[in-house]
Amino acid sequence: MEVRKAIIPAAGFGTRFLPATKAMPKEMMPIAGKPAIEYVVEEAVASGIESILIVTGKNKRAIEDHFDHVSELEAKLSEKGKSEALEDVVRSAEAEIYYIRQKQALGVGDAIWSARHFIGNEPFAILLGDSIIDSTEPCLGQLMEGFNKTGASIMGVHEVPESETGRYGIIDPGERENGLIRVNGIVEKPEAGSAPSNWAGMGRYILTPEIFGFLKERKVGRGGEIQLTDAMQELLSVQPLYACEFKGRRFDIGENWGFLETNIEYAWKQPELRKKLADLFKEKLEEEE
């Protein structure tokens, strides 16, 4: 079956960005002038996803408003001849997006479980909102190519330094098949020195609906939450799982430095901002001398 649907979990509190996220969803924090979650939605759409479910929580209404049409704003921009801004505003409202609220912050596994009726009995994609991936071919599209070869669940991975393995779900890699890595097991945020490899999950997945049979058990894992990786580990008992070393650069916008770095990198892509950034960096370096 084709992968037509995607889930974007967006119910977290964003505590690492307080006080900015006290009233504003962290997913709406801007990256070079565009909300972070819009980059994720654009990747899904560019990969061929037809329907997206965003799992939200309290104080997340701004996400729904952003992906809706605002006729008064669109009319005003049209009247003033601001065609570029109008195009940006209209484009953000064109994706077919649905919403459901995660009533308790019980982890990513619980967020995916809450989407089971939307998904039904078909394979689906998951895009975590704290990862923006810059690539020529959409990262999710690369995973879809792998899924089309195997028909099995697949996750996007990159190698990370050993000092950072405790931040990710780490795979126990097997042999390579059709350009993919066979996964023997997954460990969620292993303790320092105990990781089975340096291959880390980067927030992109395609899963078969059998995953819901394991999420249904509501097992609490690391951090007192229902972990998606725990259910994926159990999924291995009934079907294979693969990892795709995708081509592209992943930006972690879930913490302050990563968010700042992503803003700089994406601003650098815009000619009018690049010149200003270059001048600013030059001025700061001269001040340090």
Q: What does the pLDDT look like over 227-285, one tens digit per residue? A: 898 999 999 989 999 999 999 999 988 888 899 999 999 999 988 899 999 989 888 88
Structure tokens at 217: 């058990």
Mean pLDDT, rounded, for 27-33: 90
Pairing of strands 5-9, 51-56: parallel
Q: Which domains does the chain have, with CATH numbers?
A: 5-249 (3.90.550.10), 255-289 (no CATH)
Share of the chain above pLDDT 90, in %: 48
**pLDDT tens digits for range 1-15:** 789 999 999 888 778
Tokens at residue 229, please? 């990786």
Predicted TM-score of the model (pTM) = 0.89
DSSP code at position 95: S
- Tell how far CA 205 is from the center of its chain: 9
What DSSP letter does each residue of 197-261 carry, written as one string?
Answer: -SEEEEEEEEE-TTHHHHHTT----GGGS--HHHHHHHHTTTS-EEEEE-SSEEEE-SSHHHHHH
**How far is it, in rounded angstroms, from Cα 54 to Cα 29?**
16
Judged against a pLDDT cut of 90, whether residue 206 lies above it is answered with: yes
Residue 275: other Cβ atoms inside 10 A: 10
